[in-house]
């Protein structure tokens, strides 16, 4: 059997993306093994999800550290001690300092609930709705020194409807997050991601249909 990709998942909240990663592994769709789940938030529901699947968990509460760098140094060394090859930030509400980024260069992925580079940062779905965009979506990307800014691996686009609320839009986006995050990790596990400058290229993928979407529709 081929060696599985060792991943470490960083969480702060509900952990539905963690759940999707777990489910894809259990279904045999994702050739990865979760070596550890780390939460900076002791109350994160993600920890319950991990324990239910008998995964190793650790709470590293950032409030107990004197600086961002000190927290990052500890977290990165725990990940290394657990033989983690790829770090997946899944709703992890912390910015990473160079201490962390340099420990895992281009080996940290993040998921963001917007079509980057639009709406980086917090409350992306709410701001997209308020802005009045007709399409929204989500992005899996490598983490780099600025928040939500590294090479993009996969994006998924969803329509925005006039009667959407923040909740309905966020739910539509989240369903897509749960598909693209495991897929991005699987591409990595298969050694198919090449990075050229700020572009991530996935080798040997079929080309998607060249079809434009219009919202609202063009009626003539």
What residues make contact with ligand GRF under the rule CB under 6 A? Answer: 13-17, 46, 90-91, 111-113, 174, 177
Residue nearest to ligand GRF (CB): 91
Task: Provide the minimum distance between the beta carbon of 24 and ligand GRF in the complex, in angstroms, as a whole number.
Answer: 14
Task: Provide the minimum distance between the beta carbon of 185 and ligand GRF in the complex, in angstroms, as a whole number.
Answer: 14
Task: Provide the minimum distance between the beta carbon of 211 and ligand GRF in the complex, in angstroms, as a whole number.
Answer: 26
Q: How far apart are CA 114 and CA 17, in angstroms?
A: 15
- 143-161 b/e (C-beta count within 10 Å ≥ 16 → b): bbeeebbbbbbbbbebbbe
- Which one, 75 or 220, has the nearer CB to ligand GRF? 75
Task: Provide the minimum distance between the beta carbon of 159 and ligand GRF in the complex, in angstroms, as a whole number.
Answer: 18
CA 82 to chain centre: 20
| CA within 13 Å, CB half, 167 | 0
Catalytic residue among 112, 178, 201, 214: 112
- Which one, 70 or 126, has the nearer CB to ligand GRF? 126
Contact 153, 183 (CB under 8 A): no
- Which one, 5 or 20, has the nearer CB to ligand GRF? 20
- Which one, 180 or 189, has the nearer CB to ligand GRF? 180
**Enclosing H/E stretch for 173:** helix 166-189
Query: Known catalytic residue: 112?
Result: yes
Active site residues: 112
């Amino acid at each position: 059997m081929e060696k599985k990709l060792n991943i470490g998942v960083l969480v702060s909240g509900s952990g539905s993306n963690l759940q999707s990663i777990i489910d894809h592994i259990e279904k045999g769709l994702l050739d990865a093994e979760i070596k550890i789940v780390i939460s900076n938030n002791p109350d994160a529901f993600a920890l319950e999800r991990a324990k239910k699947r008998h995964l190793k968990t650790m709470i590293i509460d950032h409030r107990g550290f004197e600086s961002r760098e000190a927290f990052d140094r500890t977290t990165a060394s725990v990940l290394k001690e657990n033989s983690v090859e790829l770090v997946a930030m899944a709703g992890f509400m912390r910015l990473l300092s160079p201490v962390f980024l340099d420990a895992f260069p281009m080996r940290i992925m993040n998921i963001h609930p917007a079509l980057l580079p639009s709406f980086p940062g917090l409350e992306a779905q709410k701001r997209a709705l308020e802005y009045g965009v007709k399409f929204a979506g989500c992005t899996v990307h490598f983490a780099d020194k600025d928040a939500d800014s590294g090479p993009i691996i996969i994006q998924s686009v969803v329509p925005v409807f006039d009667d959407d609320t923040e909740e309905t839009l966020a739910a539509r986006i989240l369903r897509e997050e749960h598909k693209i995050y495991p897929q991005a990790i699987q591409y990595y596990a298969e050694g198919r991601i090449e990075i050229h400058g700020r572009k991530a290229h996935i080798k040997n993928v079929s080309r998607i249909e060249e079809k434009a979407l219009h919202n609202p529709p063009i009626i003539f």
